[in-house]
Amino acid sequence: MSASAPKPPSSPARIARTLAITSGKGGVGKTFVSANLAAALSRQGLKVLVLDADLGLANLDVVLNLYPKITLHDVFTGKAQLDEAILPAPGGFSVLLAGSGLVEYSRLTPDIRDQLHGIFEAVKPRFDVILIDTGAGISDVVLYAVSMAQEVIVVATPEPTSLTDAYATIKVLSAQQGRETLNLVVNQVARAGDGRAICAQLQQVVDRFVQGPNGAAPRLQLMGDIPLDTAVREAVRKRSLLLELHPGSAAAQGVLHVAARMVGR
């Protein structure tokens, strides 16, 4: 009696790499970074989802020139199924868009927490990378959205107010979530390469004033910097991805560098 052929090994289940993209203050280009970074990662053959977790004040749809008929709000309220809310976006990635102007999402209720967690767990096996585009600041909704991700990218600009708020965000994430490492993207730098000095300055302040649960200050890892570029303003005005409208611009190259660093890790 011949032996039966061995069964081929089962392919491992996809486990998405999850990153929260957050900022201490608004207006630093967080959603611009999320959308264009997703497009850059998609170009590398990855299946990418951007989850808009800026509940109630969403603008990812505006950046991508999308007019969704179904949003996370409809999934939360049972008016639509999750699959109906996952939409294709320009740039080859997918999006789950939040509603805008919905005051009920200004604070984290147990129901919102459970709904958001359930959706996140449902989409993780479907993608290679999930970028969570959070709101700005340190509200309970923002902090919960960040807590779902394996990694955090803090977006800041060289302006003192942005760096002060980035420091506050890092301090809270270290204390409340035990984050030992946080990634930093410095947007709107005067010259490519300025992000290194800014990251070092911010690290000095963190080393001096922040002590994590393990007794050490969290470490900042510079993912890259994105130069101040008039092409960005034009892309935002035209509601287009920078990587599609001006792929050769200095800012687009900065985004591609951040994506390459991510994939390299």
pTM: 0.92
What's the CA angle centered on 223, arms 221 and 225, to 5 degrees?
A: 120
How many angstroms separate the CA atoms of 209 and 203, rounded?
A: 10
pLDDT one digit per residue (tens) for the chain, 265 residues: 444 444 444 335 678 999 999 999 999 999 999 999 999 999 999 999 999 998 877 789 999 999 999 999 899 989 999 999 999 999 999 999 997 656 677 778 899 899 999 999 999 999 999 999 999 999 999 999 999 999 999 999 999 999 999 999 999 999 999 999 999 999 999 998 999 999 999 999 999 999 988 899 999 999 999 999 999 999 999 999 999 999 999 999 999 999 999 998 7
How many angstroms separate the CA atoms of 115 and 74, rounded?
A: 11
- CATH architecture of the domain 17-264 equals 3-Layer(aba) Sandwich (3.40)
Residue-level pLDDT at 107 = 79
- Identify whether the C-beta of residue 188 lies closer than 8 Å to the C-beta of residue 224: no
- Identify whether the C-beta of residue 78 lies closer than 8 Å to the C-beta of residue 114: no
Residue-level pLDDT at 6 = 42
DSSP line for the chain:
-PPPPPPPPPPPPP--EEEEEEESSSSS-HHHHHHHHHHHHHHTT--EEEEEE-TBB--HHHHTT---S--HHHHHTTSS-HHHHEEE-TTS-EEEPPPBS-GGGSS--HHHHHHHHHHHHHHGGG-SEEEEEEEES--HHHHHHHHT-SEEEEEE-SSHHHHHHHHHHHHHHHHHH---EEEEEEEEESSTTHHHHHHHHHHHHHHHH---TTSSPPEEEEEEEEE--HHHHHHHHTT--HHHH-TTSHHHHHHHHHHHHHHH-
